[in-house]
Amino acid sequence: MSELPLYSMIIDGKPVLAATTFDVINPASGAAFARVAAGDATHVDAAVAAARAAFPGWAALPDGERSRLIGALAEVLQANMPELMRLVTLETGKPQDGLNHVGAGMEVGGAIAWTQATSQLALPVEVVQDNAEARVEVHRKPLGVVGSITPWNWPLMIAIWHIMPALRAGNTVVLKPSELTPVTTARFVELANAVLPPGVLNLVTGAAGSAVGPAMTTHPGIEKIVFTGSTATGRKIMGNAAATLKRLTLELGGNDAGIVLPDVDVKAVAPKLFAAAFHNNGQTCACLKRLYVHADMYDELCAELVALARAVKVGDGFDPASELGPIQNRMQLEKVEAIAADAHRAGGQFLCGGERLPGPGYFYAPTIVVGLDEGSRLVDEEPFGPILPVIKYSDVDEVIVRANRNSNGLGGSIWARDLVRAAALASRLECGTVWVNEHGAVQPDAPFGGIKQSGIGVEFGLHGLAEFTSIQTIKVMQD
């Protein structure tokens, strides 16, 4: 048996190993395909020291030079796209192409697009007064060292969402990827350090339960934490950050509702709804996770969704025919199974799916469930897997109230032909982003973030870039 490839940490521009390693599992096979250095709190200390040493020089670079270097990182991603796509599929299981082209190609392509777009952002000086008495300017200044903690569902793209605005604003970064999917990120950071000055972008990897995450969220040398992941972990991070008053951007869990009005063309809208709910196997924060359908077309739409679920190809991500891959890890698979079992007990009717698929790996059949309402786990909780409850309603005003009753508030959608009515209803949904006739589509120039238990702060565009800065007001008296 050949030795598994080993991925190191990157601290101060150099590869760093640790006393031990941990395995990374391919979810399509359940077998290890790589080993990664198992860092600890001492590595966090070293990475923060390197980032703090690099900060003055990076922050002092002319704005155009930082923009150029971030643009060069987009070129690095582009030049290494095939390798990065392969690593994404190995560690996440997602197909190279995927359902509606949402797969490893989109992940790396999205990383390129976000890097390019972020390189062009700028926060100019704002002049609030300029007269004979005084000139008052508002400047945006980098914070210092930013700590980034990323999840397993979109490991490279979400790392890019964290890293690039932090760097663009003049901060330096210490990055901790999920222990389940550290490989693509480790490779990117290695490549990036051939472009960036040493210490500007550092990577510390930690095994499950390691001290790396807590060491970052409590570290006095880190000024801000940006985290994407579960609400439960977000609460712990917020508590840890309190002692040092760290700034936070937390993009947490979602349980997005989609509401289908009775004027839609069912056959036209069904594939869009299916893709919104099942892309990446439902393992996206802003997937459609609760589908409310008007009674007038409820049965027809359910039948269309079931036909799509039965036809979709589930398999290994390297099979060109595969549209959906496995659930990323065994723990998440078991959570989906537990929620499905609860749905059975609550009287849910499984129109299709509801079981693991045979063979190795963490494959689960795309599942449509009816007959449930609020109060069941499948409706109230985020399953983060390929299982969708379809819920009947008859009164539009009532269903808005029902959708808003959930403690999450990341995204939501209205599906209708009457766009004026749809937009009016969209404004009544309590969530950070509302889509009309699509769901989950984000873009690098539009802010994205949650309310309620779905997070704090926003990402993307000028609003997201501003979150990596502090404000300094300068008043110059003119006499």
Q: What is the pLDDT of residue 2?
A: 64
Asked whether residue 32 carries a pLDDT value surpassing 50, the answer given is: yes
Select from 194, 188, 186, 202 the least CA-distant residue to 145: 202
Q: Where in the chain is the domain with CATH 3.40.605.10?
A: 6-252+454-475
Q: How far apart are CA 290 and CA 456, in angstroms?
A: 22
- 8-state DSSP, 374: B
Average pLDDT over residues 5-25: 98
pLDDT value at position 1? 44
Q: What is the pLDDT of residue 327?
A: 98
Q: How far apart are CA 372 and CA 353, in angstroms?
A: 16
Whether the pLDDT of residue 283 is over 60: the answer is yes
Do 26 and 33 form a contact (C-beta atoms < 8 A)?
Answer: yes
Confidence at residue 187, expressed as pLDDT on a 0 to 100 scale: 98
Residue ranges of the chain that CATH labels 3.40.309.10:
256-444
Query: What percentage of the chain carries pLDDT values higher than 70?
Result: 100
| Over residues 257-270, mean pLDDT | 98
Do 337 and 383 form a contact (C-beta atoms < 8 A)? Answer: no
233, 241 contact by CB (below 8 A): no
181 CB neighbour count, 10 Å cutoff: 28
Residue 298 pLDDT greater than 50, yes or no: yes
Q: Which 3 state secondary structure label does DSSP give 252?
A: coil
How far is residue 110's CA from residue 154's CA, in Å, rounded to a whole number? 10
Cα gap 323→94, rounded to integer Å? 8
Q: Give me the pLDDT at residue 409, please.
A: 98
Instruction: Quote the CA–CA distance of 227 and 188 in Å, as a whole number.
Output: 19
Are 455 and 251 contacting, i.e. CB atoms less than 8 angstroms apart? Answer: yes
State yes or no: is 251 an active-site residue: yes
Instruction: Provide CB contacts within 8 A for 105, sequence distance 6+.
Output: 85, 96, 97, 98
pLDDT, one tens digit per residue, over 351-396 is 999 999 999 999 999 999 999 999 999 999 999 999 999 999 999 9
Q: Please name every residue paired with 448 in a beta bridge, in sequence order, or none if there are none.
A: 459
- In this structure, the chain runs to a length of 479
Q: What is the mean pLDDT of residues 343-349?
A: 98
Q: What is the pLDDT of residue 64?
A: 97
Residue 145 corresponds to which tokens in the numbers above?
């060292």
In the predicted model, is pLDDT for residue 425 greater than 80?
yes
Q: Beta strand pairing status for 469-477 and 126-130?
A: unpaired
Q: How far is CA 32 from CA 23, 24, 29, 133, 377, in A?
A: 6, 5, 8, 68, 32
Q: What is d(CA 364, CA 229) in angstroms, rounded to the nearest whole number?
A: 22
Does the annotation count 285 as an active-site position?
yes
pLDDT at 475 exceeding the cut of 70: yes
* Catalytic-labelled residue, pool 285, 287, 302, 431: 285
The pairing of strands 408-409 and 451-452 is antiparallel
Residue 174, phi then psi, degrees to nearest 5: -115, 120
Mean pLDDT across the stretch 147-169? Answer: 98
The amino acid sitting at 238 is M
The residue assigned the tokens 């999920």 is 178
pTM of the model: 0.97
Among residues 162, 154, 71, 63, the alpha carbon closest in space to that of 107 is found at 154
For residue 34, the 8-state DSSP code is: E
6-252+454-475 fold: Aldehyde Dehydrogenase; Chain A, domain 1 (3.40.605)
Question: 134: helix, coil or strand?
Answer: strand
Distances (CA, A) of 292 to 259, 319, 389, 415, 450: 5, 34, 9, 10, 21
Q: Is the pLDDT of residue 304 over 70?
A: yes
Tens digit of each residue's pLDDT (9 = 90 or more) over 177-219: 999 999 999 999 999 999 999 999 999 999 999 999 999 999 9
For the chain, how are helix, strand and coil distributed in percent, rounded to 5? 40, 25, 35
The SS3 of residue 79 is helix
- CATH superfamily of domain region 256-444: Aldehyde Dehydrogenase; Chain A, domain 2 (3.40.309.10)
Contact residues for 284 (Cβ-Cβ < 8 A; gap 6+):
153, 154, 440
Q: Look up residue 103 and give its two tokens.
A: 């797969």
* 179, 223, 251, 323: the active-site residue: 251
Phi, psi of 287, rounded to the nearest 5 degrees: -65, 155
pLDDT at 479: 82
**Predicted pLDDT of residue 263:** 97
Give the side-chain half-sphere CA count within 13 A for 249: 28
Task: Note the pLDDT tens digit of each residue in 69-123.
Answer: 999 999 999 999 999 999 999 999 999 999 999 999 999 999 999 999 999 999 9
Alpha-carbon gap, residue 223 to 254, rounded angstroms:
26
